[in-house]
Amino acid sequence: MVTRAEVLALDQADQLAGFRDRFVLDDGLIYLDGNSLGALPKHTAARVADVVSREWGRDLITSWNRNDWIGMPTRIGDKIGRLIGAAPGQVVCSDSTSINVFKLAAAALALRPGRRVVVSDRGNFPTDLYMIQGLAELTGGGVELRLVDETEVSAAITEEVACVMLTEVNYRTGWRHDMAAVTAATHAAGAISLWDLAHSAGAFPVALDAVGADLAVGCGYKYLNGGPGAPAFLYVAQRHQDSIRPPLSGWLGHDAPFAFDLGYRPAAGIQRNVCGTPPVLSMAALECGVDILLEADLDAIRAKSVALADLFHTLVEERLPGTFGIVSPRDAARRGSQVCLTHEAGYAIVQALIAARVIPDFRAPNILRFGLTPLYVRFGDVWDAVDRLVTIMETKTWQQPEFQVRAKVT
């Protein structure tokens, strides 16, 4: 049996251990929901306050130039690019993940005229699928969304497929696609790859350029620690940029936005994928989160994530045998950065954990989801979380009535 002392020794040896102090986290709290909302970096508050008081309050409209608000989408985009294996000039920060899915799925279809099928898997985060459904309805049958099981994606990529749209890591189970293999299969069929990196960016190294990815989107508020509802990002490989006519053709994607021409003319390069005026305060917070990640070694983050998940799996098997299903893959190569257990009383157990100062989240119908964010989650946290879970199951704490009431958002 793994002991707490052995686990605390892992924290002693952890080269990333110093990063935890860069975040605002109550020492008594075990926060395992950074895959839903990343923790607050300590320097974010001062930066946001400066943007509010100095850049907005004092410099007012001149900040678009003086404080380079106008450059934020590409500046932050390039920084995110360094986390996802994208050379400069291929990423912008803008809008929400949902909106960016719409932009790039429409772009993918336009890049493959004569094809109308978008392939995705049933494990994809629903909003990605919803956006394609909306696009299909809007274009009056110009798009067909074809859903398959996640292990059958490559087989589904036929010559009629325009776009293969996948979230690399399944939000519920942590199952991870083989991005290189699926992208190769996509290209072999002449289709366009659109990757959603919501549970990838900042969680482990991603190599968009190296695998030859075409398009990608991702989320700012999970592993990038950008704050609630932080703006999202999108990636367009250099070779496609001039061929894309943005379907959401807003003024900040115009070649000369301040010429106020009546006709839309897309900006050169990645800029055309920016649409309206971006939310500066939220973007400034996002940049702080990204900046911390840029100081860390993504390979070290990945190695620690794997070790945290392996430890979690081992402890659950040793101390709670047969109590939970384990749906997160044991094979690290097929896993993102989370551990997922199943239990028919999953919702109530999650509520009991929260009362015990362990914060995972629940995903219907029966999944307890534990996000592992190596910059601030310690090996000792994993030990303590499982320990408290053991207590909750032994004492049946979760059966208390207050843990059965479903909140509006879970």
Q: Which of the residues are catalytic?
A: 125, 196, 221-222, 369
- Give residues with Cβ within 8 angstroms of 260, minimum separation 6: none
Closer residue to a second copy, CB minimum distance, 31 or 211: 31
Closer residue to a second copy, CB minimum distance, 69 or 379: 69
Smallest gap, in angstroms, from Cβ of residue 83 to a second copy?
Answer: 20
Find tokens 């700012």 and name the residue: 220
Smallest gap, in angstroms, from Cβ of residue 59 to a second copy?
Answer: 10
Nearest to 104 by CA among 247, 258, 269: 247
Closer residue to a second copy, CB minimum distance, 108 or 211: 108
Q: CA 234 to CA 146: how far, in whole Å?
A: 23
- Give residues with Cβ within 8 angstroms of 264, minimum separation 6: 249, 254
Rg (CA), the chain: 22
Smallest gap, in angstroms, from Cβ of residue 221 to a second copy?
Answer: 7
Is residue 308 within 8 Å of residue 374, measured between CB atoms?
yes
Is residue 44 within 8 Å of residue 324, measured between CB atoms?
no
Q: Quick check: bond before 126 cis, omega within 30?
A: no
- Give residues with Cβ within 8 angstroms of 313, minimum separation 6: 326, 328, 330, 339
Closer residue to a second copy, CB minimum distance, 63 or 183: 63
Closer residue to a second copy, CB minimum distance, 1 or 407: 407
Smallest gap, in angstroms, from Cβ of residue 41 to a second copy?
Answer: 9
Smallest gap, in angstroms, from Cβ of residue 258 to a second copy?
Answer: 6
- Tell me whether residue 186 is exposed, middle or buried, using C-beta atoms within 10 angstroms of its C-beta: 0 to 12, 13 to 18, 19 or more: buried
Closer residue to a second copy, CB minimum distance, 120 or 183: 120
Pairing of strands 325-326, 338-342: antiparallel
Smallest gap, in angstroms, from Cβ of residue 31 to a second copy?
Answer: 6
Q: CA 25 to CA 18: how far, in whole Å?
A: 13
